[in-house]
Amino acid sequence: MQKPIQGFEIAWSPLIMITITSKVLSLTPIRVKKRLIYNFQLKQLLSNFYTSSESTEKNNTNNSTDGHRVIPDNNSAEKVLLKHRKIKNSHLELLKKYLLEDKLIGPAKATKQLREETGLNVSTETLRKILASLREEMGPEYISAYSPTVKDRQSDQRYKLKDLHIECLKKYLKDNKYIGPTNAMKKLNEETGLSIAIPAISTALKNLRKEMGSEYSNLDSEQVKVNQINDRIKLKDSHLEFLKKYLKEDKHLGPAKAMRQLHEETGLSVSVETMRKTLINLKQEIDPEYAKVYLSTLNNTIPVNQSKMKDIHLECLKKYLKEDFYISNVDAMYRLYDETGLLVSRVTIRNALEKLEQDITQHEIELPLPDSNTKVDFRSRSYGFKLKDLHMDLLERYVNENPSIKAIDAKYRLFIETAYSVSVPTVKNALNEIREQICIKNGSLAASDSKSDARSWIYGFKLKELHIERLKEYLKEDNSIGPTKALTRLCEETGLDASIRPVQAALITLKKEIEQENTNLLSPNSKPEAEQNQKFGYKLKHLHIECIKKYLNENSSIGSTTVMNRLYEETGSKISASHISRVLRNIRSGDK
C-alpha cells in the first residue's frame, strides 16, 4: 500500500488512497491543499461513526448478558429525542406529570395538553412511542393500567368511564345483578352527571360481570328478557294507578286526555297508541261489561274515523250541527276537543260531519237557510274551512290599506298577526272575492262619494287627498323623484305611516295622468318639449339634451360612460349609462 502523505499519519482505506492519489496528480498546489483538508474532515467523520457503532454493540452485548429485556429502539425515549430534536427534557417531565395524574391518558389528549402548555406541535404517533417508553420506565402499574382490556372498554367513549364510574356500576350490579344498560345509564347520569352512550355502558357492564364472577355472568335468560322488557316499558305501576283513578272518575276517558293528565301529574310522555292499548286493558280489568260494549263501538264506528270517534263524540257533533248546520270543520274540531278531550284531524271531523249531514237529510230535518252572518262560513268552506271570520276581516283590512297587495304578502302578514298558515292560492281566492265585494260596495255609493272612493281604490286607502296633492307637487318640482324619497318627504310633512308600495303605485299613476294632461292640453310652444320628454325620458331635461348634442358635435363616436361623467361634472345630474346610451342612439338615429 502506498505511503500516506506527510502530516496525515492515519490508517487510510485503499479506496480512499487511490482516489486521493489520482486526484492529487491532476490538481494544482492550491486545489491539492483544499482537497486534502476535505478528505481529512471526511476521515474524522468516518472514525467517529466506527467508534459510536462499536460502543453501541458493546452496550447491547452487556445488556443481553445481564438477562434484562432490551427496549427496542423504536420505543426508546432517548432515540425519539435524538430523532425529534423539538422534544426536550422539559417536555418529558410534563408527560411524566400527565401520567402521574392520569394513568390512562392517551397520545391525543397528551398532545393537546402539551400544545396548550408549551406550544409544541408534534405528531400523535411520536407521543405514543414516548408515552409507551415512559410507562415502561415508571413501572408495571402504568403498563397494566393501559392494558388492551381497559383500553378496549373505554376507547370508544374517549375514556369517559373513570374509576368513580366503574365503582358506581359495580354498586348497581351488587344491588341488582339483572340491571340493564338503560337503567344503569340513567342512574349514573343522576349520580355523577356523566352523559354516555348506552353501548359503552353495556360493554362496561359485560366486562364487570366477567370480573365479578359467575354469579353475575351466568344469569337466567328468562329473567334477563323480562328485565329488558321492563326497561323498555315506560308505564310503570305508579302510572297505571293514576290511569285507574282517571277511569274511575270518567269511564269514557280517551287516550289523548289521559295522556295529557298523566303528563301534567307525572311528567311522563307516551304515544297515543300506547295509551289507547293500556286504557283498553285497564277497562277490561275494571269493568269487563263496559269493555265489551266499548270494543263493540270500536268496530261499529265509522271506518274512516280510524276507531277514534265514539258514540259520545258523534252525539256531540250532531248537537253542533243542530245548533249551526254550517259549522266548519275546525270549529267542530276545537269544540269537540274542549268538551271531550279528543283531538282528531280535520279530515276525520269532515268525514264524520258529511256522514251526519247525510243522516240528518235522510230524516228530513228542516235545514236553516244561510243568512248574511253565515256568508263568510260558506266562503270559508269553499277554501277548505281554513279562513275564518277573523282571517277574512284581516285580509279585508290589508286590501283597504293596499288594494294591490299580493297574495304572498297578505299570507305573510296573516301569519305574523295570527300565527295561522294557509296556502297562497287560498289567500289569493279570498283577496279576489274581497276586491269584488269592495267594487260592488263602491258602485252602490252616492255619486258624491264615488270620486273619493275611486281615488282611494286607485292610489290606496291610506293615501288621502292631501297626500295625492303633495305627490303632485313633488312631481312638478322633480319629475324623476323616486318612491323612497317621496315617502320620506310625506312622512316628514304629513306624518304618513305607510309602506313604499302605495306611494310607488301612486307616483306611476300620477305620472301617467300628468303625461295625458300634457298631451291633451298642449300648446304649439309646448309640443316640442313634450315630444322631447316622450323621446328621451323625464329625467333628462332640455339642458341635458343640449349638452349631449354638444358632446356629439365635438366627438361623434363618444361613449355613454364618457357622456355620463361629463354630464355629472357640468350639471351635477347623475344619470345611468344605460339611459344615456339609449339617448345617444335616439339622437344619432334622428340625425340620420
Q: Are residues 473 and 484 in the same domain?
A: yes
Find all residues with CB under 8 Å of 316, minimum gap 6, and list them: 335, 336, 339, 340
260 vs 10: CA distance, rounded Å: 101
Between the alpha carbon of residue 9 and those of residues 6, 40, 198, 328, the distances in Å are 7, 11, 77, 117
At residue 226 the predicted structure's pLDDT band, cuts being 50, 70 and 90, is low
Highest mean pLDDT (candidates 143-147, 176-180, 378-382)? 176-180
| pLDDT at residue number 368 | 44
Note whether residue 273 is domain-resident: yes
Q: Over the chain, what is the mean pLDDT?
A: 70
Note the pLDDT tens digit of each residue in 490-536. 888 877 777 777 788 888 888 877 777 766 554 444 445 555 555 55
Distance between CA 544 and CA 448 in Å, rounded?
45
Mean pLDDT lowest for which of 95-109, 324-338, 362-376, 432-446? 362-376
Between these two residues, 488 and 154, which has the higher pLDDT value?
488
> Please, which pLDDT band fits residue 52 given cuts at 50, 70 and 90?
low
The per-residue pLDDT for 242 is 86
Statement to judge: residues 63 and 84 lie in one domain: no
250 plus 263 within the same structural domain: yes
Rounded to the nearest angstrom, the gap between the alpha carbon of residue 294 and the centroid of all alpha carbons in its chain is 46
| DSSP per residue, 248-269 | HH-TT--HHHHHHHHHHHH---
Find the domain containing 44 and state its range: 1-70
Asked if residue 342 lies in contact with residue 257, where contact means CB atoms within 8 angstroms, the answer is: yes
Of 365, 258, 382, residue with least CA distance to 318: 365
Rounded (10°) CA dihedral 65, 69, 70, 76: -150
60 and 78 in a single domain? The answer is no
- Grid cell 390512562 in the structure block, residue: 104
One domain, residues 66 and 92: no
Q: Is residue 242 part of a domain?
A: yes
CB 487 within 8 A of CB 498: yes
Mark whether 1 and 62 lie in a shared domain. yes
Q: Are 240 and 282 in contact (CB under 8 A)?
A: yes
- Same domain for 42 and 101, yes or no, is no
Local structure of residue 500 (DSSP, 8 states) = H
Which of 70, 89, 112 is the last residue in one of the domains?
70
Give me the mean pLDDT over the 448-470 stretch.
58
Instruction: Tell me: pLDDT of 17 over 60.
Output: no
Amino acid at 384: G
When pLDDT is cut at 50, 70 and 90, the band that residue 232 belongs to is low
User: Does residue 301 register a pLDDT over 70?
Assistant: no
pLDDT of residue 540: 67
Q: Are the beta carbons of 538 and 479 closer than 8 angstroms?
A: yes
Question: pLDDT band at 344, cuts 50/70/90?
Answer: confident
Span 230-250, average pLDDT: 76
What is the distance of C-alpha 293 from the center of its chain? 50
Inter-residue contact 13 to 39 (CB < 8 Å): no
Non-local CB neighbours of 570 within 8 Å, separated by 6+ positions: 547
Say if residue 38's pLDDT is above 80.
Answer: no
Question: What pLDDT is stored for residue 293 in this prediction?
Answer: 57
What gap in Å lies between CA 169 and CA 166, rounded to an integer?
A: 5
In the predicted model, what is the mean pLDDT of residues 402-424? 79
- Residue 22: the pLDDT is 47
Highest mean pLDDT among 68-82, 381-395, 503-517: 503-517
- Between CA 506 and CA 475 the distance in angstroms is 11
pLDDT, greater one: 473 or 218? 473
Q: Which of 122, 146, 170 is the last residue of a domain?
A: 146
Report which of residues 537 and 259 the model is more confident about.
259
Whole-number Cα distances in Å, 151 to 104, 124, 579: 8, 17, 76
Verify that 49 and 104 share a domain, yes or no: no
Q: Choose one of 146, 178, 193: the last residue of a domain.
A: 146
Same domain, 82 and 136: yes
Report how far apart the first and last C-alpha atoms of the chain are (Å, whole number): 108
Asked if residue 294 is part of any domain, the answer here is: yes
The DSSP output letter for 383 is T
pLDDT for position 454: 45
392 neighbors 377 (Cβ within 8 angstroms): no
C-alpha cell at 328: 266548519
Measured distance CA(64)–CA(66) in Å, rounded: 5
Is position 194 within any domain? no
Please check whether residue 210 lies inside any domain of the structure. no
Give tens-digit pLDDT for 117-151.
888 888 878 888 888 888 888 877 777 555 544 44
* Overall average pLDDT of the 572-577 stretch: 76
Residue where the block lists cell 361623434: 556
pLDDT at 374 over 70: no
Task: Give the total number of structural domains in the chain.
Answer: 5
* Residue 306 CB neighbours (<10 A): 12
**Residues 292, 252 share a domain:** yes
Give the pLDDT confidence score for residue 108 in this predicted structure: 79
Same domain? 119 vs 135 = yes
DSSP class of 218: S
Residue 204 in contact with residue 185, Cβ under 8 Å?
no
Question: Where does the pLDDT of residue 380 fall: very low under 50, low under 70, confident under 90, or very high at 90 and above?
Answer: very low
Assigned domain for 415 exists: no
pLDDT bucket at 179, cuts 50 / 70 / 90: confident
Residue type present at position 523: S
**Which residues 6+ apart lie within 8 Å of 95 measured at CB?**
110, 114, 127, 130, 131, 134
Q: Provide the pLDDT for residue 527.
A: 47
For residue 195, the model assigns a pLDDT of: 77
What does the pLDDT average to over 227-248? 73
Q: Is the pLDDT of residue 24 over 50?
A: no
Q: Is the pLDDT of residue 552 over 50?
A: yes
Is residue 134 domain-resident? yes
For 320-329, the pLDDT digits (tens) are: 888 877 787 7
Measure the CA–CA gap between 401 and 139, rounded to whole angstroms.
85
Does residue 339 sit within a domain?
A: no
Are 48 and 105 part of one and the same domain? no
Average pLDDT over residues 408-418: 80
pLDDT at 63: 46
